[in-house]
Amino acid sequence: MIPQPYDIRSSGGLQSSTQNRVLRNTYFLLAATMVPTVLGAWVGMSVGFSLFADSPLISMLLFLGIAFAFFWGIERTKHSVTGVYLLLGFTFFMGLMLSRLVGFALGMGNGAQLIGVAAGGTGIIFFGMASLSSVVKKDLSNMSKFLFIGVLLLIAASVANIWLQMPALMLTISLLAVVIFSVFLLVDLQRIVNGGETNYVSATLSVYLSIYNIFSNLLVILMSLFGSSKE
């Protein structure tokens, strides 16, 4: 058999098709993850879910342990339907963890409006970063390690604030978290657009975590600055 000449145009078309498929499947699965997240938040508020709320440090450590167990399982099964199910299970768990914050917000006089503003702000940030990801030509992947260090510092500051109980520090942590995870979102979306991520389950997990943290921290900021008590 005579080998066919290498066709750059054909290879480029195949790569572009793969990138488009990963991006399309990522957005579809991302939309699907919102359902178990909302369901988890509703169930959590209905049953009064709390993960050792009386001991914030134990609660955080237990949360991180469960979260990283999900990460490990999702990564091991990301090429099969099991990975999708684990991802949806993880987003349900994250909804449970969000229920206390949402419930606290709903206990405010303008809580429903604040949740809506936080959701709208998250949507604006997401679409803004999605637009930038296809416009920015510079490779942003090198920023990931610095962003990860930033996340570790946020976790350390959050642990410290368990004892310090400083509202100003909490607000600063939330503001920095919105910035860091917004940039994380841009980096992850650019990686998907440029073909650096070929698995849509992994891609969805990365994007979901950024969106979740942007929303929850925006809500904290809004409650701190504009929350009003019920009369």
Q: pLDDT tens digit string along 114-150?
A: 999 999 999 999 999 999 988 988 888 889 899 999 9
pTM for this entry: 0.90
pLDDT mean across residues, the chain: 89
Q: How many domains does the chain have?
A: 1
Within a domain: 231: no
pLDDT band at 3 (very low <50, low <70, confident <90, very high): very low
Q: How confident is the model at residue 5 (pLDDT cuts 50, 70, 90)?
A: very low
Q: Is residue 2 part of a domain?
A: no
Q: How confident is the model at residue 15 (pLDDT cuts 50, 70, 90)?
A: low
d(CA 91, CA 34): 8
CB atoms within 10 A of CB 181: 26
Give phi and psi for 108, each to the nearest 5.
-90, 160
Flag whether 208 is in a domain: yes
- CA atoms of 74 and 71, how far apart (whole Å): 5
> Domain span at residue 214?
8-226
Q: Is residue 3 part of a domain?
A: no
Is 150 part of a structural domain of the chain? yes
Say if residue 53's pLDDT is above 80.
no
